[in-house]
Amino acid sequence: MDWTFGITLKNRELLVRFVDEHSLAELNKIPEGFTNNIIWNITHTIVTQQRLVYHLSGLSMLVSDDMVTKFRNGTQPENNLSQQEVDVIKDLLISTIEKTKEDYTKGVFKTYYEYTVGMKSTLHNVEEAIEFNNFHEGMHLGYILALRKSL
């Protein structure tokens, strides 16, 4: 799983760069033809990883319920995020993956509640969830690249 976690961290480092390289206004901007923005996509990746890995393992997530409510699948940005909120999100990008890797190594994930994702594939265990998460984050990286070109 080291390789899989390495891929996740590389993607998250790219997302940190997006936060660093764009103004707060750019991160919050919803370009014409889109329904969300760069910071929504970034936060959605954090929330989805936590739901797929921790929640479906019956464990407490490392993010707030409020964050899950605002950024889970099927949501859209409700308002612009503040710089303080963006700073928290930036910190969570790396810290949540480091903690997940640590918890995985310690054997914390003992139970997994099977879950069928939108593309009709069923996740049977935490390893599949972690691997699927990389695919999901790759899709959102593509959305972010399209959003960036539309700014």
CATH number of the structural domain spanning residue 109:
1.20.120.450
3-class SS of residue 105: helix
* Joined tokens for residue 43: 């936060």
What's the rounded mean pLDDT across residues 55-71? 98
What's the rounded mean pLDDT across residues 7-35? 98
Domain count, the chain: 1
Looking at the predicted structure, is the pLDDT value of residue 49 above 90?
yes
Q: Containing domain of residue 94, as a range?
A: 2-149
Q: pLDDT for 75-98, tens place per residue?
A: 999 999 999 999 999 999 999 999
What's the rounded mean pLDDT across residues 134-138? 97
Residue 107's Cα: distance from chain center in Å? 22
DSSP summary character for residue 110: -
Sequence-distant (≥ 6) Cβ neighbours of residue 39 within 8 angstroms: 19, 27, 28, 77, 81, 86, 89
pLDDT score at 118: 87
Sequence-distant (≥ 6) Cβ neighbours of residue 8 within 8 angstroms: 49, 97, 130, 133, 134, 137
What's the rounded mean pLDDT across residues 18-43? 98
d(CA 79, CA 29): 10
| Alpha carbon separation from 41 to 68, 131, 141 (Å, rounded) | 13, 19, 8
Model confidence pTM above 0.95:
yes
